[in-house]
């Protein structure tokens, strides 16, 4: 995370066009070959896609290939044929797609929702340390959307995920139809990074009880209103279970990026990337207690974008959990304004009657 917010990555070609035969181009067909579909649990050398049945909306999981050959993981909610732009969710520095499950359940009632595990996080493959940067991670997102045949989407980025969105704003602006930044902006506060650096990559205690206790000590200043049940839920969202014990759910080598971090040295800012989003709607979810996104930065974002949709969650810090109905409803409303849902077609006798009288009125006027 202490890399430049818009650090460079590999060159990324644009979306493939259709070929002269009217079908997908060769480049697009290669992406489709990297995303095959099958039942959950089947092993596939390139990609798998399968369904879960316990949720309120259809939920699936898939894998795809990065440009450098890694197998990367994602989750999907909702109907792939749902009208309107899909929502793509990008998690924080050491976090993964599990963070978005509660929000995705809410949004997927009307839209398709995709959440990705960035390389080295969750169920995605670990990678060379040098590739853990927003530029390479943005390229992975481009590959995922190409494999899923999503030419444009609404994006939600938490922390590091927001930095990846800034890269996309500079390199692939046409992919972004609207942007929600969850407690991240063009300026990152060093105090928050210092807090994250103090615990990233540390071994996890042997029991869940001890893990929750330590986790609360690390994050308590950011979530003072969270109760015991909430802390247990939060911990199981962040850590995975391995042989009955908690384990970190990311590559410990992510810690390497923090070894050269000096809180006395200001980090590069990403104002040009923020300004590159001038043509699309933008929302910011700000944790009122955040030590990563300051009120001053939010104020400057508002000055540059008077139409900015701002939701401040006063009793949460970095980053808001997005569990509560208020946040979920506000985000859903913003997405609908950014990409208004299509009106359902009127069918049957009623539809034909309306069409008939519309034609009759036209002839009589």
Instruction: Give the pLDDT of the chain (365 residues) as one tens digit per residue.
Output: 554 344 333 332 232 333 332 334 444 444 555 664 433 333 333 333 343 434 568 899 999 999 999 999 999 999 999 999 999 999 999 999 999 999 999 999 999 999 999 999 999 999 999 999 999 999 999 999 999 999 999 999 999 999 999 999 999 999 999 999 999 999 999 999 999 999 999 999 999 999 999 999 999 999 999 999 999 999 999 999 999 999 999 999 999 999 999 999 989 999 999 999 999 999 999 999 999 999 999 999 999 999 999 999 999 999 999 999 999 999 999 999 999 876 655 445 554 555 445 444 444 44
| DSSP class per residue in 148-177 | TT-SSEEEEEETHHHHHHHHHHHH-GGGEE
* Homologous superfamily of the 26-194+270-361 domain (CATH): Alpha/Beta hydrolase fold, catalytic domain (3.40.50.1820)
Instruction: Please give the model's pTM, rounded to 2 decimal places.
Output: 0.82
What is residue 88's predicted lDDT score, i.e. its pLDDT? 99
Q: Would you state the pLDDT for residue 183?
A: 99
Query: Cβ of 170: how many Cβ atoms within 10 Å?
Result: 16
Domain ranges of the chain: 26-194+270-361
Helix (H, G, I), strand (E, B) or coil at 252: helix
Q: Which two tokens stand for residue 77?
A: 């909610």
Query: What pLDDT does residue 179 have?
Result: 99
70 touches 125 (CB < 8 A):
yes
Contact 75, 124 (CB under 8 A): no
Cβ neighbours for 53, distance < 8 A, ≥ 6 positions apart: none
DSSP 256: G
pLDDT value at position 11? 32
Residue 294 burial class via C-beta count within 10 angstroms: exposed 0-12, middle 13-18, buried 19 and up: middle
Task: Name the β-bridge partners of 87.
Answer: 113, 154
Burial (CB < 10 A; 0-12, 13-18, 19+), residue 214, is middle
Distance between CA atoms of residues 249 and 61, nearest Å: 17
- Give the pairing of strands 71-77 and 59-65: antiparallel
Torsion angles phi and psi, residue 76, rounded to 5: -135, 140
Question: Distances in Å between the alpha carbon of 139 and those of 116, 145, 155, 171?
Answer: 13, 10, 15, 9
Q: Collapse the DSSP code of 178 into the 3-class scheme (helix H, G, I; strand E, B; otherwise coil) and give the result.
A: strand
Cα 153 from Cα 149, distance rounded (Å): 11
pLDDT at 58: 87
Please tell me whether the peptide bond between 319 and the residue prior to it is cis, using omega within 30 degrees of 0. yes
**Structure-block tokens of residue 297:** 């930065």
Q: Helix H segments across 199-294?
A: 208-219, 228-238, 271-275
Phi, psi torsion values for 277, nearest 5 degrees: -90, 15
Instruction: Write down the pLDDT at residue 340.
Output: 85
CA–CA separation, 156 and 151 (whole Å): 16
Distance CA 66, CA 12 (A): 12
């Amino acid at each position: 995370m202490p890399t430049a917010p818009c650090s460079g990555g590999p060159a990324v070609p644009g979306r493939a066009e259709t070929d002269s035969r009217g079908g997908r181009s060769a480049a697009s067909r290669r992406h489709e070959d990297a995303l095959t579909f099958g039942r959950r649990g089947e092993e596939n050398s390139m990609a798998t896609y399968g369904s879960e049945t316990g949720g309120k909306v259809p939920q699936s999981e898939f894998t795809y290939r990065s440009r450098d050959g890694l197998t990367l993981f994602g989750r999907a909610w909702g109907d792939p044929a749902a009208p309107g732009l899909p929502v793509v969710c990008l998690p924080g520095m050491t976090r993964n797609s599990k963070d978005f499950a509660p929000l995705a359940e809410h949004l997927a009632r009307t839209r398709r929702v995709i959440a990705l595990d960035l390389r080295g996080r969750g169920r995605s493959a670990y990678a060379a340390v040098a590739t853990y940067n927003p530029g390479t991670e943005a390229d992975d997102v481009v590959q995922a959307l190409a494999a899923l045949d999503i030419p444009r989407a609404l994006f939600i980025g938490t922390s590091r995920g927001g930095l990846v969105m800034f890269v996309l704003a500079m390199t692939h602006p046409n992919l972004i139809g609207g942007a929600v930044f969850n407690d991240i902006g063009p300026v990152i506060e060093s105090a928050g990074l210092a807090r994250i650096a103090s615990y990233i990559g540390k071994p996890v205690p042997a029991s869940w009880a001890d893990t929750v206790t330590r986790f609360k000590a690390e994050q308590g200043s950011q979530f003072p209103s969270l109760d015991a049940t909430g802390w247990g839920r939060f911990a199981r969202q962040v850590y995975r279970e391995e042989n009955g014990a908690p384990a970190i759910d990311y590559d410990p080598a992510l810690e390497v990026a923090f070894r050269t971090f000096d809180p006395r040295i200001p980090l590069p800012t990403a104002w040009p990337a923020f300004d590159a989003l001038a043509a699309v709607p933008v929302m910011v979810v700000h944790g009122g207690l955040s030590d990563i996104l300051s009120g001053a930065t939010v104020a400057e974002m508002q000055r540059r974008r008077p139409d900015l949709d701002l939701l401040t969650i006063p009793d949460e810090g970095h980053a808001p959990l997005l569990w509560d109905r208020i946040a979920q409803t506000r985000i859903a409303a913003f997405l609908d304004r950014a990409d208004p849902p299509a009106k359902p077609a009127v069918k049957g006798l009623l539809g034909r009657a309306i069409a008939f009288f519309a034609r009759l009125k036209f002839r009589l006027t």
